[in-house]
A and B are shown apart, each in its own frame.
Chain A
């Protein structure tokens, strides 16, 4: 599958971005910003995963619809499972 112009340098840029994001998330966790920290930290994790999915796993250049839908399907499924379980556990 053609990967639309990736090259050694471009892969390395993505890697650097991942390391920078890691540094950001570790720093954020060290600050004292209370409950919002979990949101930031998970959001950064989501961004890092998206970079890996799109550029390292080549989803960016994937043509088949079914493959582009798989990650959203996974996220929706887990959200539903955890969400509905929360309606029990948090209301007892």
Chain B
């Protein structure tokens, strides 16, 4: 009974931490909400410079990684198949890597076209577009940082499963890392339409 309570305690702690992460992005969403309300046309025009295909691809990649993350936990917690867990964790990390690669190409394309903070091309554009790209790099950048952190945590989890620190009877840490990864996915679920789907 005490073990269950400790598990619940660690889960409460993790959810509270996720809550604080939501509020960090929340500050940026506030800025986005205000500037989009003030410059709706500029935001639309600026979004035309993003590749909807890349954004949709990245969305699909992250959604898939969420699936593999929860399948990893399920395989360990319910089915007691650690090897499968490690496989799913590895696929999740690979999805994260794929996401970052696509993002790198996207950012590279922006740099090439002079659409980055302080670039002359960007500064010549209307203020709404300058703000759009300022927010774009900040928000996707902060998100990418969280993807990297998540990948590292997932890697550590592979180690835990291999050493038996995470096992069929003992999954709280793995579950918590899973929760973190799903939050990273949810944040992207909102970033995607806000930057790529402005019609």
Contacts and interface: CB of A to CB of B under 8 A. Distances in A.
Bound together? yes
Interface of A: 1, 3, 6-8, 11-12, 14-15, 18-19, 22, 25-26, 28-33, 37-38, 41-42, 44-45, 48-49, 52-53, 55-57, 64, 66-67, 70, 73-74, 77-78, 81-82, 85-86, 89-90
A56 B34 contact: no
Interface size on B, as a range, is: 35 or more
Contacts of A22: 56, 59-60, 63
Interface of B is mostly: helix
A33 B182 CA distance: 32
Contacts of A81: 26, 30
A6 B182 CA distance: 17
A49 B12 CA distance: 20
A53 B179 CA distance: 9
B33 interface: yes
Contacts of A25: 193, 197
B41 interface: no
Interface of B: 7-8, 11-12, 15-16, 18-19, 22-23, 26, 29-30, 33-34, 37-38, 52, 56, 59-60, 63-64, 66-67, 69-71, 74, 78, 178-179, 182, 185-186, 189-190, 192-193, 196-199
Given A19-B63, A74-B19, A82-B33, A53 B197 contact: no
